[in-house]
Chains A and B, each alone.
Chain A
Amino acid sequence: AQSVTQLGSHVSVSEGALVLLRCNYSSSVPPYLFWYVQYPNQGLQLLLKYTSAATLVKGINGFEAEFKKSETSFHLTKPSAHMSDAAEYFCAVSGETSGSRLTFGEGTQLTVNP
């Protein structure tokens, strides 16, 4: 079985500051990892995904994430926050034993202060 833990249900940063959203995974098989973003009253949108091709994955809107097997982590970063980045972010995992089913973390609400 796979699971993910997102550290920090709320993160607050200033506009222009580094964004760091933490995700740790647990998996008995090689994981596939995803970050999704949810803007208010909308569905989830894929930011990026790790599928073992490269450990540093670049996504949309300037976000990137690095897969670190030794730390079982897949943290999401962005060098400079914009007001428009304010949203809820979800980490998710799948694996060969779960097929296409994703298991989601509890989410991190990102606030960007002017």
Chain B
Amino acid sequence: NAGVTQTPKFQVLKTGQSMTLQCAQDMNHNSMYWYRQDPGMGLRLIYYSASEGTTDKGEVPNGYNVSRLNKREFSLRLESAAPSQTSVYFCASSEGQGPYYGYTFGSGTRLTVV
């Protein structure tokens, strides 16, 4: 009954360091997403994967890369972290590509870049 699992839950990086945020879902969902949440700005889409083997840019993709490793896993990589990437990152999944499904969210990763 895990749903969407994100690791790590917390991370502090120095400017210029790299890291990968991991996300896995066990609901056999087709579509997966990465959002960032910043105060007063709601959630903004970074990248998404409509189905296994495909990825597309969202609203704020600069500075990030993604990999849809298989149907279950969708990772987000910061190649050279910047203070502007300090945020809470959420992974989500949905059953299909239609507009009516809605998402299941992970519990988030709090990232601080110093």
Contact = CB atoms under 8 A, between A and B. Distances in A.
Interface stretch (B14-22, B68-76, B77-85, B91-99): B91-99
B42 A32 contact: no
Interface size range on B against A: 20 to 34
A25 interface: no
B58 A101 contact: yes
A23 B44 CA distance: 17
Interface size range on A against B: 20 to 34
A101 B42 contact: no
B58 A100 contact: no
A106 interface: yes
B104 to A, nearest CB: 8
A73 interface: no
Contacts of A34: 102
Interface in A92-114: 94-96, 98-107
Nearest to B43: A104
Interface in A1-56: 9, 32, 34, 36, 41-46, 49, 51
B105 A43 contact: yes
Contacts of B4: 43
Given A99-B50, A100-B94, A106-B41, A94 B99 contact: yes
What 8 A-B pairs have minimum CB-CB distances, sorted nearest first? Answer: A43-B105, A94-B99, A104-B42, A51-B100, A104-B43, A106-B42, A44-B105, A43-B107
Interface of B: 4, 31, 33, 35, 40-45, 48, 50, 58, 90, 92, 94, 96-108
